[in-house]
Amino acid sequence: MNTMIIDGLSYALPLLIIACGGIFSERSGVTNLALEGFLGFGAFTGSLFVALTSSWFSNGSTVPMYLAFLFAMLGGGFYALLFALLCIKFRANQVIAGVVINILSVALTGFLTSQINSSVFGEASNKFQLGVSPRWTVPGLSQIPVLGAVFTKFYPFEILIVILVIFINYLLYKTRFGMHLRAAGDNPQAVDTAGISVAKVRFTAVVIAGMLAGLGGMCYAYSISTNFSPSIYFGAGYLAIAAMIFGNWKLMPTLAACLIFGLARSGAYQLVGYLKLSSNYTNLALAIPYVLTLLLLIFFSKTNRAPRALGEIYDKSKR
Amino acid sequence: MKQKRILAAATALTLLGSLLTSCSSSTATTTTAGSSTAATTAEATTTAAAETTTAEAAGTTTAAETTTAEASDSATGTGDAALKIVIVTSPSGVDDGSFNEDNYNGILSFIKNNPASTVKDIKEPDSANAVTAVANVLADYDVIVTPGYQFAGIYQLAVDNPDKDFILVDSNPSDTDGNEQSADNIYAMTFAEQESGFYAGVAAALETKSGKVAVVNGVAYPSNVNYQYGFESGVNYAVKHLNATAEVVELQQYAGTDVTGADVGGNYIGDFSDPATGKIVGEALLAEGCDILFVAAGNSGNGVFTAVKENGAAKVIGCDVDQYDDGVNGSSNIVLTSVLKVMSTNVEKQLQAIADGTFTGGNVVLNATTDSTGYVSDPSRSQLSDTTKTALEDVYTKVKDGTIVPAANFNGYTPEDFPGLN
């Protein structure tokens, strides 16, 4: 049970922050399939920073890790500029632009990693080695049965994500910016009439999406592989999109979706072990959360509503 | 008007993007021959070299004769055979610090001794497309090196192009129906993984403090089952003959099902490229009290490495190539040792044979008798204690002379009963 919660959270929270990026982008009216590319490029920038500067810090220092998160956000945001440029400035089809951005990211980061490794560090490798993230346990709280697992062996980035999500909730629903953003996705004409540039709002939203996805990618680089390699592209971006749609483009339901995906994933292995079934059933158990999602969608999809202007290129002259 | 221009710009950008993509994923040229003059010499002598390998044309120029004359030289390592070599790999490329790179190093050391030869590396991202990728470039090269089981289908290609030589690593060629074949111009090398697994098992059993060790594999293909059975054989051997106290931990929710459908036990991640699940399996085994894990799971193994790094006290044994660099954990290292498939020297040996004209194809299982399996004992790349090292040396000689034959997937022995144990 404890393992399930500990593993589940460390998988679900980065997924949530990537999905949050998706929410930003899509609530502002830009269909975002490029999350996978953003997260990879963000992780690449953060890891590059660690690789370049690790010699400045004492061995085992965690400072590079925290800075890596910062640089991952910058890198993800920077890369998202390209997507924003294509979708908003050049009015490219958003679905196609998203796919292009993903493919470009896989190729570009793989190529750059090999090149930088050989030219700067003089070694032939397609990976940047990162240190290991520490894991924290809160002394008293971790003793509480069941719930204590939340406070046991968590990664520092999990706290960061929780804080960010609370802030995002405030930003989206309680500020003027959040209102403009949501309006740009539902009724861009109204936003324009109010004298606010739709393009600017959408541009900002996409860049924020890139930053959040980049952060999520860096978290996975630390929690799963402790290195940056092309294996960072394992589909988390697409799973985040699924979680966002299942969560009806709203923050709290998306959180629930991410938790279901994360907990069920680690729970499936435990379940098969607990029931002493053969490993043949593991794959079946792994499918349970998705089957559940499908069933739930059948019943709740009536109330699901995408932002009205999602995927539409805003054109002033069109009525 | 303006809109049109913007649209055009967008299209151009998209095109540029896709162009960039295809560029970087397809090829990265490496000419190792050094100067451009060397490359031109290569061009000039290839034709001659080609002629010597086929039926001798009567009117061949002196160039051809020099090649034959030099052939005896090249055996001593100073030849100037001008082979055009191409290596086609999985997308991780020839600088993956692992499997592909080891093969590439074999080619490089051949070129060092034969500076007129050249090599080009090609990445094929789609493993289903591997054979087509080889077919596309075949005409430009003399020797094709293909590391990985995805290239098993080159058999038909080799039969259709008898003047080209193929070196296939870690797989045997098969025809379009999937039946195993062999051809005169394909040297297919596979390795006795159970021997490498055996060294890992002995080392783990001798070094464990908790008395619990485990092996983590990717998918229960024969190569992985060989590693697993070899490891279990090694642990059993160390317990019986070397006074070790160790037990092999297997979690039945990760048990593997081999190609015949039989349950082989062990701990299988179920994938070679799923580090996230690898980490879960690793953590589960550490929670059972294991302190040494033998990891033979490709990219999924990375996740196991992460789990062990976070654990802090446990160690891993690497596989296929020296994985010491992957084990860096702050100021310490989690890699106890790595057990090897020695691909580089075997690739070099075959290239030299091609240069000398003594090349013969066939499907060969390489083992300790040719020093093709082994382990890392260099103190700067491993952390074995002296007693373990002495024990391993003894075991290695016994495997080499056949006193010990570790169990494999299909050699009829089991980890509980194999020659050398009882």
Instruction: Look at residue B75 in the predicted model and tell me its pLDDT.
Output: 41
At B47, which CATH number? 3.40.50.2300
Contact B305 A226 (CB under 8 A): yes
**Residue B8: which pLDDT band, with cuts at 50, 70 and 90?**
low
Identify the bridge partners of residue B118 per DSSP, sorted by sequence position.
B84
Which one of B5, B11, B23, B24 makes the best mutation probe of the A interface by having the most chain A beta carbons within 10 Å?
Answer: B24
Instruction: Look at residue B167 in the predicted model and tell me its pLDDT.
Output: 94
Per-residue pLDDT reduced to its tens digit, A21-74: 999 999 999 999 999 999 999 999 999 999 898 778 877 678 889 999 999 999
Please check whether residue B86 lies inside any domain of the structure: yes
CA distance, residue B259 to nearest chain A CA (Å):
14
Q: Using only C-alpha atoms, what is the Rg of chain A?
A: 20
Instruction: Look at residue B11 in the predicted model and tell me its pLDDT.
Output: 53
Per-residue pLDDT reduced to its tens digit, B168-223: 998 899 888 878 888 999 999 999 999 999 999 999 999 999 999 999 998 888 88
Instruction: Look at residue A147 in the predicted model and tell me its pLDDT.
Output: 83
Contact B306 A132 (CB under 8 A): yes
CA distance, residue B21 to nearest chain A CA (Å):
5
Measure CB to CB from residue B287 to each of A3, A11, A106 and give the nearest one.
A3
Contact A132 B330 (CB under 8 A): yes
Q: How many domains does chain B have?
A: 2
Report the pLDDT averaged over residues B271-279: 85
Measure CB to CB from residue B18 to each of A100, A126, A276 and give the nearest one.
A100
Residues 56-95 of A with CB under 8 A from B: 59-60, 86, 89-92
* CB-neighbour burial class of residue B266 (10 A; exposed 0-12, middle 13-18, buried 19+): buried
Q: Which residues of A touch B12 (CB under 8 A)?
A: none
Report the pLDDT averaged over residues B398-413: 92
Report the pLDDT averaged over residues A162-169: 95
Residue B29: pLDDT above 50?
A: no
CA distance, residue A66 to nearest chain B CA (Å):
16
Per-residue pLDDT reduced to its tens digit, B344-361: 999 999 999 999 989 998
The CA distance from A264 to A5, in Å, is 10
Sign of CA dihedral B399, B401, B405, B410: positive
Contact predicate B385/B397, CB 8 Å? no
Q: Which residues of B touch A92 (CB under 8 A)?
A: 10, 13-14
The CA distance from B287 to B283, in Å, is 6
**Residue B6: which pLDDT band, with cuts at 50, 70 and 90?**
low
Q: Residues with Cβ < 8 Å from A188, sequence gap 6 or more? A: A29, A198, A309, A312, A314
| Domain identity same for B241 and B389 | yes
Instruction: Look at residue B3 in the predicted model and tell me its pLDDT.
Output: 57
The CA distance from A165 to A170, in Å, is 9
Domain stop point among B137, B163, B191: B191
Distance of alpha carbon B131 from its chain centroid, rounded? 18
CA distance, residue A111 to nearest chain B CA (Å):
6
Report the pLDDT averaged over residues B54-70: 39
Domain ranges, residue B383: 193-341+373-400
Closest CA to A264 of A237, A230, A236, A288: A288
Please check whether residue B7 lies inside any domain of the structure: no
Work out the mean pLDDT of chain B and round it to a whole number: 81
Tokens of B279: 């980490």
State residue B178 phi and psi, 5-degree precision. 85, 5
Choice between B412 and B25, residue whose per-residue pLDDT is larger: B412
Q: Tell me what percent of the residues of chain A surpass a pLDDT of 90.
A: 52
| Domain identity same for B75 and B220 | no
Q: Which residues of B touch A225 (CB under 8 A)?
A: 275, 302-303, 306
Per-residue pLDDT reduced to its tens digit, B315-349: 999 998 899 988 888 788 999 999 999 999 999 99
Contact predicate B369/B400, CB 8 Å? yes
**Residues listed for chain B:** 422
Instruction: Look at residue B10 in the predicted model and tell me its pLDDT.
Output: 53
Residue B21: pLDDT above 50?
A: no
Which one of B216, B253, B335 makes the best mutation probe of the A interface by having the most chain A beta carbons within 10 Å?
Answer: B253
The CA distance from B364 to B374, in Å, is 17
Instruction: Look at residue A197 in the predicted model and tell me its pLDDT.
Output: 93
Instruction: Look at residue B42 in the predicted model and tell me its pLDDT.
Output: 40
Per-residue pLDDT reduced to its tens digit, A240-266: 998 998 888 999 999 999 998 888 887
Q: Which residues of B touch A230 (CB under 8 A)?
A: 91-92
CA distance, residue A112 to nearest chain B CA (Å):
9
Whole-angstrom CA distances from A74 to A71, A79, B75, B99, B381 are 5, 9, 56, 34, 37
| Domain identity same for B197 and B328 | yes
Contact predicate B162/B183, CB 8 Å? no
Report the pLDDT averaged over residues A267-280: 76
Q: Which residues of B touch A273 (CB under 8 A)?
A: 251-253, 284
**Residue B76: which pLDDT band, with cuts at 50, 70 and 90?**
very low
Q: Tell me what percent of the residues of chain A surpass a pLDDT of 70.
A: 98
Residue B394: pLDDT above 80?
A: yes
Sign of CA dihedral A286, A95, A306, A167: positive
- Residue whose token pair is 């089952």: B225
Measure CB to CB from residue B13 to each of A3, A90, A279 and give the nearest one.
A90
**Within a 10 A sphere around the Cβ of A85, how many other Cβ atoms?**
16
Per-residue pLDDT reduced to its tens digit, A63-121: 889 999 999 999 999 999 999 999 999 999 999 999 999 999 999 998 899 889 888 88
Q: In what order do the strands lie in the sheet with B186-191?
A: B27-28, B118-123, B84-89, B143-147, B165-169, B186-191, B362-366
Identify the bridge partners of residue B145 per DSSP, sorted by sequence position.
B87, B167
CA distance, residue B144 to nearest chain A CA (Å):
22
Per-residue pLDDT reduced to its tens digit, B289-298: 999 999 998 8
| Domain identity same for B258 and B165 | no
Contact A224 B276 (CB under 8 A): yes
Contact predicate A56/A124, CB 8 Å? no
Residue B285: pLDDT above 90?
A: yes
Instruction: Look at residue A295 in the predicted model and tell me its pLDDT.
Output: 83
Domain stop point among B191, B224, B241: B191
CATH code for the structural domain at A2-300: 1.10.3470
Which one of A6, A106, A132, A270 makes the best mutation probe of the B interface by having the most chain B beta carbons within 10 Å?
Answer: A132
Instruction: Look at residue A98 in the predicted model and tell me its pLDDT.
Output: 95
pTM above 0.80, yes or no: no
Largest CA distance in chain B: 87
The verdict on ipTM greater than 0.90 is no
Contact predicate A192/A14, CB 8 Å? no
How many A×B Cβ pairs under 8 Å? 143
Which one of B95, B100, B264 makes the best mutation probe of the A interface by having the most chain A beta carbons within 10 Å?
Answer: B95
Residues 171-230 of A with CB under 8 A from B: 223-227, 229-230
Residue B33: pLDDT above 70?
A: no
| Domain identity same for B107 and B214 | no
Choice between B140 and B55, residue whose per-residue pLDDT is larger: B140
Choice between A285 and A93, residue whose per-residue pLDDT is larger: A93
Residue A164: pLDDT above 60?
A: yes
Contact A110 B6 (CB under 8 A): no
Residue B100: pLDDT above 80?
A: yes
Contact A226 B309 (CB under 8 A): yes
Q: Is B171 left (phi over 0), alpha (psi -120 to 50) or beta?
A: beta
Q: A28-66 burial, b for 16+ CB within 10 Å, e for fewer?
A: bbbbbbbbbbbbbbbbbbbbbbbbeebeeeeeeeeebbe
**Residues listed for chain A:** 319
Contact A280 B97 (CB under 8 A): no
Tokens of B232: 């279990």
Instruction: Look at residue B65 in the predicted model and tell me its pLDDT.
Output: 39
Per-residue pLDDT reduced to its tens digit, B236-268: 999 999 999 999 999 888 888 888 888 899 999
Choice between B406 and A273, residue whose per-residue pLDDT is larger: B406
Q: What is the SS3 assignment for chain B? A: CHHHHHHHHHHHHHHHHHHHHHHHHHEECCCCCCCHHHHHHHHHHHHHHHHHHCCCCCCCCHHHHHHHHHHHHHHCCCCCCCCEEEEEECCCCCCCCCHHHHHHHHHHHHHHHCCCCEEEEEECCCHHHHHHHHHHHHHHCCEEEEECHHHHHHHHHHHHCCCCEEEEECCCCECCCCCECCCCCEEEEEECHHHHHHHHHHHHHHHCCCCEEEEEECCCCHHHHHHHHHHHHHHHHHHHHCCCCCEECCCHHHCEECCCCCEEECEECCCCCCHHHHHHHHHHHHHCCCCEEEEECHHHHHHHHHHHHHHCCCEEEEEECCCHHHHEECCEECEEEEEEECCHHHHHHHHHHHHHCCCCCEEEEECHHHCCEEECCCCCCCCCCHHHHHHHHHHHHHHHCCCCCCCCCCCCCECCECCCCC
The CA distance from B323 to A283, in Å, is 30
The CA distance from A254 to A258, in Å, is 6
